[in-house]
Amino acid sequence: MSKSYRVAILGATGAVGTELLELLESRNFPLADLKLLASERSAGKTLKFKGENLVIEAVSDRSFANVDIVLASAGGGTSKTWAGVAVDKGAVVIDNSSAFRMNPDVPLIVPEVNPQAAAEHKGIIANPNCTTILMTLAVWPLHQVKPVTRIVAATYQSASGAGAKAMEEVKIQSSAILQGQQPVAEVLPYPLAFNLFPHNSPMTDIGYCEEELKMVNETRKIFGSQDIRITATCVRVPVLRAHSEAINLEFDTPFSPDEARAILSNAPGVKLVEDWQKNYFPMPIEASGKDEVLVGRIRQDISHPCGLELWLCGDQIRKGAALNAIQIAELLVEKNLLQNG
């Protein structure tokens, strides 16, 4: 990375936006210039970067002039409003919302899985849903050895998936409950502290919420296969920032747990965590703040001769969002895939 690049973070004040800022610094991304963009109400505030206070600008038509990469994490509506503007001015937009994920002209990328898709971009690249990223990172290395035919996923999703305000709400609710008071829910529809509920994304007419269908449709797109049968049940749990997933995989022939363990031990972005004697496996508290997806409890499905079970935990803000976006930016730089070269 001998060149340096002009980057803008759209949605800089959110949980993912601030994580993007930290990762640009800690990974020493080659920056020539950095703009922090947000709504009018955040304009004028500052965020620290490499010891300096950077002033947040209100996003406008002028924001994307002389920008190479836009890291967008401000919601689907904002992305739909500004992504085209940024592309027209010569930037590549890496979008963390669901706005463009299923657009056939927009690559949906997990760099450890389908980096080749980056070459197909037309100015916008979509960052997958957090649960999809974490699952594909663990399943793809196995799928390369024996194609998976069916995936059954149950997710245990942290408050961070609903943003920084939801994380703060869980803390306030926990304090209220411990003091004998009734918890108040404003960000999420129901109290999450000391509670859980099925994911609150909009329900569809087939009985699946949108979050569950994201896992189905996005995984098929990333894997380049519409034949994989996938089902998911997504649940919001009182954890601050790391998601957990129970994954059941079905293959055409048996898949030895020992072989799967050996494959995942060497898989990029994955860390095997297993101590069967101590009943010690991945936990969200240990995945929080980590880049790797923790995978373990790999075992034979006793109900199916070609079934394999595994458990994973991964930081929703990091690999589930910000880190994956930064890795896409690094991929664009490495392969010289930016619009302006």
- Which residues are identified as catalytic? 130, 243
Does 239 appear as a known binding residue? no
Does 245 appear as a known binding residue? no
DSSP secondary structure letter of residue 129: P
Does 168 appear as a known binding residue? no
Does 241 appear as a known binding residue? no
Does 160 appear as a known binding residue? yes
Does 42 appear as a known binding residue? yes
Does 15 appear as a known binding residue? yes
Q: For residues 68 and 6, is the Cβ–Cβ distance under 8 A?
A: yes
Does 78 appear as a known binding residue? no
Number of helices (H), then strands (E), in the chain: 8, 14
User: What backbone torsions phi and psi does residue 71 show, to the nearest 5 degrees?
Assistant: -100, 105
Does 173 appear as a known binding residue? no
Supply the DSSP string of 167-224, one letter for each residue.
HHHHHHHHHHHHTT-----SSSSS--TT--EE--SPBPTTS-BHHHHHHHHHHHHHHT
Name residue, tokens 């990375």: 1
Does 210 appear as a known binding residue? yes
Does 79 appear as a known binding residue? no
Closest CA to 50 of 34, 70, 66: 34
Burial of residue 217, with CB atoms counted within 10 A of its CB: 0-12 exposed, 13-18 middle, 19 or more buried: middle
Rounded Cα gap, residues 224 and 122, in angstroms: 19
DSSP secondary structure letter of residue 50: T
- Positions at the binding site for substrate: 157, 210, 236
Q: Give the residue ranges of the annotated binding site for phosphate.
A: 101
Residues making up the annotated binding site for NADP(+) are: 13-16, 41-42, 160-161, 316
Which residues carry a binding-site annotation? 13-16, 41-42, 101, 157, 160-161, 210, 236, 316
